[in-house]
Structure 1
Amino acid sequence: MSHGYGTKDASDINSGRVVKLVAPAGRQPFGFIAPDSGGKDVWFAPHLLGDGKSWDEFKVQVGRYGTIPAPVSYVLDPKGRAKGVCVLSLAEVDGNDDGRISEEEMAKYLEAHPEMFQKVKTQMDREREKRQEERDAEHAAWVAKRKAEDAAYHKRKVAYQEQVKDDEAEAQERQELYARLAAKEDALRAKIEETKARRDSLKEQVNQLRDEAQKDWESGAKAECKAKQAKANELQEERSGLYKEVDDLYDQLKNLDWSNNEEIFRWVQKRHDRPSDLSWFDLHGLDLNFAWWKATELLKAAQTLGVPRVEVITGAGHHSEGGVSRLKQTIWTNSDSLLRSAKSGQIDDLHITDFQQVVDDDGDQNPGTVMVLF
């Protein structure tokens, strides 16, 4: 009727009467149960008791029935022994008071008392189940940990891939920006060189015409001399105009370079997911003169608005020639840098109390960022 392990339903649990308890000298006690369903008596021993009871406690419960064989519940183990033996309350189980427990009465009792499925477990069963539960819990924890690690790895991988895409997109955007700005400057420089070449060419023509005019004068060719002198003067006037044109082109180039630096500065700031509140700014990619001027302008504005501190990003120079950032030196590390000059009162209308290298949240110093204190 029963295998005795993994008891799940009423058909696994039997009922019977304790017909004998034996306590031989020097050996462990044992007993016999007469099954209510009939058949030969079933042997059991202390380690096969249920409900967490000791042999002595079990004997006390059996003794309360006096001369009446105590009713018990049990399951059969694979060896045919009574296992998980528990003393029952006959009054509770024997519904028709006939002094015996039928299968129907036992099933009805178990339905009303589901805790019996736990009581008919021996201490060994309980320990085995506890160990299994601990193993299951350890395995579940291990699985959960692996899943969490896998999820974290996947999250990091996705984040890394997205960062790579963002970096590549940013690099492409930066390259296109620099190429577009450089093309404007290159076109203007080419025009300057073309104008200078024209100017130099006119100089040679003027000198040649004047030399020829001198020879014509000496040879008596007065008319030819005057014509060549007039042409030389005309070309010299054009050459003089080219000097002014070159100067104007250089001014345009300077203004274009300044404008390009402004555009680069705006683009760099947009790459940061931070509000533009003068508490920070990034000088990456700027010419040194422009960076000095821009930093001075922004620090003065922050000072006027009462901003207590400003984070200035220059970069550490990891990608600079020789691993040294000239921008960093210009802004804050050289003895004649902007911040040292401002701290010593050498910059008009800009007064700072101190500046310090920024320390990240994890306690590491950031060699590419400085905090300016007013």
Structure 2
Amino acid sequence: MSAHPSTEAAGDPTDPAAVIAAEDRLVAHNYRPLPVVVARGEGVWVEDVRGNRYLDLLAGYSALNFGHRHPALVEAAHRQLDTLTLTSRAFHNDRLAAFAAGLAELTGLDVTLPMNTGAEAVESAIKIARKWAYEVKGVPRDRARIVVAADNFHGRTTTIVGFSTDPVAHDGFGPYAPGFTVVPYNDLPALEAALDDTTAAVLIEPIQGEAGVIVPDDGYLRGVREATRRAGVLFAADEIQSGLGRTGRTLALDHEGVRPDLLLLGKALGGGLVPVSAVVGTREVMAVLRPGEHGSTFGGNPLSAAIGTAVINLLATGEYQERAERLGKVLAAGLGRLTGRGVLRHRGRGLWAGIDIDPAIGTGRQLSERLMARGLLVKDTHGSTIRIAPPLTIEEEELTGALDILGEVLAEGS
């Protein structure tokens, strides 16, 4: 028997076909990646195992807002790795308070519940909202309801997929937890009609990412905030994809000057290095949690807190928000020029766009593969729609060059 059977089973790491075949044999088929094997990354560029370079226009679904291996974030990680990585919350550590203070200042809220993944943050917010409903609002036990939007994407746990309207995410995983009311997104009258004495919270994405970067009408988010206040209901905003600079503001809610009761953050909060998420809320609402009622072994660990603090420091300068706003106009203008030339319509805010491609040209997957062959990495969603969300560190000439290639690929397919 080989001394290293696992290495042999994985195949030749320099052969893309061998690596992909090994993954196909050994890894559950819950993803269908593009046929590229990434081995290195720096800034907005990645290289595959053969040294071919690609411009990363997905940025890990916004987890890489600051690009691959941002020097300040890597330095913070190295510095912390040399001292302490994990204590669990059984003990205090010397990094968590600074992380929480930074989040409070960045978001205008008071108290942080540190977690790891986005889905954990959503599950945590659901628990907090229900606890608040019973202890503060006075909802009868086990009758609290949470209003959510159709076409939402909040994660993959059984609770969350139970209120998904996407059959691919939803079907086959029941039975599902009760207590959720689904209303159309961007429909304020429908949302208001769903609020009653048993409603604990409204949980929505300020911009729906997985649905194709759906941006609501101006005033919708402000209307949600006003409606929840009038009804005595919490507003929980899932900014796991939209937050931390992506839309040209620190938060997508900032475009309408709105502050929620509970803010859900993740993805970019870990700087593309480690999974970090958080629920940040008002002191009154977060006070419903008491010792032992909720937790996470890795939540708030020193390594995550150090990297998260470095992320907050990058955002505190305003540089990345300004870049996203400025370059977002370049992106929108470029997509506007392609409308009618393979692009049916496009939506977006800041450096984030959903692009509906003429189905006669191909599916979103087919277009993604053609763009990959030209050195661009994007992600398809829902038929003939692709998403573009480059790192906020992208240069204007890199962005315009990518738009030129998109135009050429569309012209070839028409």
Q: TM-score range by the shorter chain?
A: under 0.3
Structure with the greater alpha carbon radius of gyration: 1
TM-score if structure 1 supplies the norm length? Answer: 0.19
